[in-house]
Structure 1
Amino acid sequence: MESFQEGYLRAVCASAGCVIARPEIDEGIDVNLTHRAESHLATDRVARLEIQLKATTTSNLSSDFVKVRLRQDRYNYYAVSNPSVHKIVVGLAMPTDQAAWIASNHNALSVHYCAYWINLAGAGETSTEAKDVKIPKAQIFDDVALCDIMERIGQGGAP
């Protein structure tokens, strides 16, 4: 599941023109993304984003959201107010059966099912051992969404 979600992320990032870096030490950040554009306001013209990846099977789907579970330390890291580097959680909903993860033909490689994103900044810390996070299915994580996120960050806003 981990390799599959990383492949999904890499495809989205390639299409959006983002550069991926993986931290050597796991401190709750699965990947760091950067996007360079003249429209970004920072002096170096680079927008930065940290991502926590979570995969879940379709058994955790509802009609309106995808539910993923984060450990307390991970949740609290992503829920801080006014972060120095913006962060999102990306939850990939995927079939339980590995044979159903992809389908291919001469025209396309289809990935089943979809990833969604949420910005937890300002959500407040939790004291529980783990926290379920409901990611709205309206927030599809694709190349268009990632471009929009990086543009907002590049303009000094939040994801």
Structure 2
Amino acid sequence: MHLSQRMEQFNVAYLYAMAAQAGLNPSRPDVDDDSVDVQLTAKNWSGGARRNPTIQLQLKCTAAANVADGAIKFALPVKNYDDLRATDLMMPRYLAVMRVPQDDAAWIQHNADHMALLNDCYWVSLRGLPETANTSTVTVDIPLAQRLTTASLRELLSLASQGEPA
């Protein structure tokens, strides 16, 4: 399997592990033609205006992240940028960018009593960002303060249950 495909699978596995811990139902569209890699739904969410809130995520993975000014500077394809910045979507959409070590042997550590995934992942909403004149990629900032964790996934679902994007 090509390295980029392995990175994609590692990213999905990481997200699915957090979804399991958070009690969320993950699903993947059969065709990724709308910049959605994974959809997360919370069944019978308490405390919200909507019972089964759902969010959608575009996943990206990199071993060569450019970090400056407290953010990952990520070159996102214009098609993904346009799909994620739309304001007329039924469900909130987010870009999630995972950083992994350059050496794929360092992605996972196997220990006697546990396995550790060596990565970090961050999220950002591009909703409402302006059009671009770029034709191939748009550099977007993913704040290092917005780490994608089980708790942040729950917060994004909580906002979605209120009908609000982050």
TM-score between the two structures when normalised by the length of structure 1: 0.91
How is 1:42-81 mapped onto 2 (pairs within 5 angstroms)?
42=50, 45-62=51-68, 64-81=70-87
Report the equivalent of 1:33.
40
Take 1:154 and 1:59, find their aligned partners in 2: how far apart are those partners? 32
* Secondary structure, counterpart of 2:157 in structure 1: helix
Identical positions, percent? 29
Please state how far the C-alpha of 1:82 moved relative to its aligned partner: 4.7
What 5-or-longer segments of structure 1 have no aligned partner? Answer: none
Structure 2 vs 1, CA of residues 86 and 100 (structure 1 numbering), >3 Å: closer, same or farther?
same
Report the equivalent of 1:14.
20
How many residues are paired up?
Answer: 157
* Secondary structure, counterpart of 2:42 in structure 1: strand
Q: Deviations over 1:11-53 (max 9, x none)?
A: 11111111111111111110111112132312xx111111000
Superposition misfits of 4+ residues, deviation over 3 angstroms: none
Report the equivalent of 1:86.
92
Structure 2 vs 1, CA of residues 7 and 73 (structure 1 numbering), >3 Å: closer, same or farther?
same
CA RMSD of aligned residues (A): 1.5
Please state how far the C-alpha of 1:126 moved relative to its aligned partner: 1.8
Please state how far the C-alpha of 1:108 moved relative to its aligned partner: 2.7
How is 1:108-147 mapped onto 2 (pairs within 5 angstroms)?
108-129=114-135, 130-147=137-154
Structure 2 vs 1, CA of residues 59 and 30 (structure 1 numbering), >3 Å: closer, same or farther?
closer
What 5-or-longer segments of structure 2 have no aligned partner? Answer: 1-6
Q: Deviations over 1:109-138 (max 9, x none)?
A: 221120000011111222312112221111
Take 2:147 and 2:138, find their aligned partners in 1: how far apart are those partners? 21
